[in-house]
Amino acid sequence: MCAHVIVAEDDPKQAELVRRYLEREGHAVTVVGDGLAALEQVRQGTPDLLVLDVMMPRADGLDVIRVLRAEARELAVLMLTARSTEDDLLLGLDLGADDYMTKPYSPRELMARVRTLLRRTRRDAAPDPVDEHVLRVGALAIDPVRHEVAVDGVRVECTPGEFRLLAAMAAEPDRVFAREQLLEELHGFDRYISSRTVDVHIMNLRKKIERAPRRPVRLLTVFGVGYKLTDPAKGAQRASAR
């Protein structure tokens, strides 16, 4: 499984260690020492994986992830961080990192993580002959098996709670779900659930699946009842037929 891997690490000794282990497994490796150089290398080619240190000069790793995901770059990102607090790690994952390791780490474990990410990337890129499990509501597609969401063919990242709500509503398009019903879907996914939890998830989902989140056409509020997921194209057809 030979791949092109970019290693963005400003510690030369650490970068050399990672490079040697990757090359030992047959990968082509490009090493850069700062965030802007990492962005330039990604843009110049089609790498399969970016091993990305968080604390780097010129642009830190979190800024690099923000830019790459804003540009819809699909390469896998393995984040290396000396920050071990949960908030820092969750921020990296929320921005679009696929996996993370905290320093100091075992090079052998790093290679195992690399193999896992590359296998997943290759599998996801392969055409799926049977996608009957995919839930579709117009241009919105929810894949419960791969835990993926796409709008107009472009993947969007969702938290586990957001995904659970979206999948439940996509399974029954146009059905109006009360907040209490949606709260039931969140049990086991959100540690702290309150009456506002559903509203916050809906607001965040609209930012991800709607072109104009303040004027939603897919994820609608049914005042006094709850929410529903609908295909805006079908709604426009019904309106024109009246």
Q: What is the 3-state secondary structure (H, E, C) of the chain?
A: CCCEEEEECCCHHHHHHHHHHHHHCCCEEEEECCHHHHHHHHHHCCCCEEEEECCCCCCCHHHHHHHHHHCCCCCEEEEEECCCCHHHHHHHHHHCCCEEEECCCCHHHHHHHHHHHHHHHHHHHCCCCCCCCCEEECCEEEECCCCEEEECCEEECCCHHHHHHHHHHHCCCCCCEEHHHHHHHHCCCCCCCCCCHHHHHHHHHHHHHCCCCCCCCCEEEECCCEEEECCHHHHHHHHHHC
Using the Cα atoms of residue 208, residue 209, residue 214 and residue 220 in order, give the sign of their dihedral: negative
Using the Cα atoms of residue 105, residue 109, residue 111 and residue 114 in order, give the sign of their dihedral: negative
What integer is the mean pLDDT of 134-147?
89
What integer is the mean pLDDT of 91-120?
82
pLDDT digits (tens, 9 = 90+) for 68-88: 888 877 788 888 887 655 566
Q: What is the pLDDT of residue 127?
A: 47
Closest listed residue to residue 223, CA positions, set 167, 164, 176: 176
What integer is the mean pLDDT of 203-230?
94
Q: What is the pLDDT of residue 186?
A: 74
Residues 136, 202: Cα–Cα separation, whole Å = 18
Q: What is the pLDDT of residue 95?
A: 77
What share of the chain in percent tops pLDDT 90? 36
114, 5 in Cβ contact below 8 A?
yes
What share of the chain in percent tops pLDDT 70? 84
Residue with the bigger pLDDT between 93 and 11: it is: 11
pLDDT digits (tens, 9 = 90+) for 20-63: 999 998 899 999 999 999 999 999 888 889 998 888 888 888 88
pLDDT digits (tens, 9 = 90+) for 157-170: 988 888 889 999 99
Q: What is the pLDDT of residue 158?
A: 87
Closest listed residue to residue 73, CA positions, set 111, 115, 45: 45
Q: What is the pLDDT of residue 87?
A: 66
- Calculate ∠ Cα 43-47-49, nearest 5°: 120
**Does residue 242 surpass a pLDDT of 60?**
no
Q: Is the peptide bond before 232 cis (omega within 30 degrees of 0)?
A: no
pLDDT digits (tens, 9 = 90+) for 173-211: 999 999 888 888 776 544 445 667 888 889 999 999 999
